[in-house]
Amino acid sequence: MGLGTEMRGVQIVTDSSACLPPSVLSGLPVRTVPVVIHLPTGDVMGDAGLTPRLVYQALARDEPIKSSAPSTLEYLSAIEEAAAPNVVVITPATEFTVMYRNASVAAELAGVSVTVVDPRTAAAAHGLVVLEACRAAAAGATVEHVAAVAEDASRRAELVAAIERLDFLRRSGRVPSVALGLAEHLGIRPVFRLHEGVVERLGVLRSDGAALRRICREAAARGLARGAPSAIFHADCPDRAMDLRALLGGSGFVAEFSPSMGIHTGPGVVGVAWLRPTAG
């Protein structure tokens, strides 16, 4: 997706893990590079409409699924197709993916000015950083100002979410199976925070309602104010996302959690991302 033929001074490049619906990006100076998901039936693009359903159906059948981050050449192609004298690339945090590294190499090879920003977050919080940068670019800001806006939004980005199922985390091998088995037996739903490249466990709840209420309390305590930039996201559970949105006061857009991340968490993830108010 992009801007058509109109020339812009600054273009943004990001990837499909940013959880940004096409309706939110409409008219903004941004190009989205897809994360490719490898299913037994063939490859699908991370921003394709049917991708979430195909991914979660394959997970339910216990089929092997992998994903590929955009390569250096794919980033370079997106930069060149942006057709702008200045490009700002915003990737997920370096702790979670090689995208920042790939984009940085592409920036060195590009024939235009390219600034690569690590927002120190991922998923919908990464998306909110992208939106702030896009709006600055659309308003005609210089590349220095657009990059500064992205960096400022990165410092204010927060994300809190709950995971419904733990069997997919067991498959990833990143959490001890004994601990996961006990958690599943107890019906526990972990609530976690993503901030500054770190995933922090905030609590374990024993019902969907309790998990949603905990998300709301954590968000309110960490600066989610009415009218602040925010996004509700979910992995194949739109009803729970709407319940969370209502509890939070009905603000923020609703987006699908990136299927490239849903490979590791499974369906049922629900949460909110927001930008804390600026100081002063």
pLDDT at 203: 84
Query: How does the average pLDDT of the chain come out, rounded?
Result: 88
Percent of the chain with pLDDT over 70: 88
Q: Which of the four pLDDT bands, split at 50, 70 and 90, describes residue 63?
A: very high
CATH of domain 10-155: 3.40.50.10170
Is pLDDT above 50 for 266? yes
Domain ranges of the chain: 10-155, 157-275
pLDDT at 228: 85
Is pLDDT above 80 for 6? no
Helix, strand and coil content of the chain, in percent to the nearest 5, comes to 40, 25, 35
Is pLDDT above 50 for 174? no
Segment 150-160, tens digit of pLDDT? 999 999 999 99
Q: What is the amino acid identity at position 14?
A: T
Contacts of 154 (CB under 8 A, 6+ apart): 117, 118, 119, 120, 121, 129
Count CB-CB contacts under 10 A for residue 4.
5
pLDDT at 8: 63
Segment 119-172, tens digit of pLDDT? 999 999 999 999 999 999 999 999 999 999 999 999 999 999 998 866 655 555
Provide the 8-state DSSP code for 224: -
Percent of the chain with pLDDT over 90: 72
Q: What is the mean pLDDT of residues 52-71?
A: 93
Q: What is the amino acid identity at position 122?
A: A
As beta bridge partners, residue 13 has: 31, 89
Is pLDDT above 70 for 277? yes
DSSP state letters, 176-196: -HHHHHHHHHHT-EEEEEEET
Both structure tokens of 276: 């804390």
Contacts of 32 (CB under 8 A, 6+ apart): 1, 13, 14, 15, 16, 18, 20, 25, 47
pLDDT at 226: 78
* 3-class DSSP assignment, residue 111: coil
Q: What is the mean pLDDT of residues 44-52?
A: 83
The answer to whether 172 and 180 have CB atoms below 8 angstroms apart is no
pLDDT at 178: 36
Number of helices and strands (H, E) in the chain? 11, 13
pLDDT at 280: 53
Helix axes 143-156, 123-138, angle to 10 degrees: 150
Rounded-to-integer distance, Cα 26 and Cα 247, Å: 28
Is pLDDT above 70 for 182? no
Segment 219-255, tens digit of pLDDT? 999 999 877 899 999 999 999 999 999 999 988 899 9
Specify the residue for token string 């920036």: 107
Count CB-CB contacts under 10 A for residue 250.
10
Question: Among 137, 132, 107, which Cα is nearest to 119's?
Answer: 132
Q: Where would I find the beta strands (DSSP E) of the chain?
A: 10-15, 30-33, 36-39, 42-45, 66-68, 86-90, 113-117, 157-162, 189-195, 198-205, 230-234, 253-256, 270-275
Entry pTM: 0.90
Rounded-to-integer distance, Cα 221 and Cα 263, Å: 30
Q: What is the mean pLDDT of residues 203-211?
A: 86
Is pLDDT above 50 for 175? no
Rounded-to-integer distance, Cα 65 and Cα 217, Å: 35
Domain 157-275 architecture: 2-Layer Sandwich (3.30)
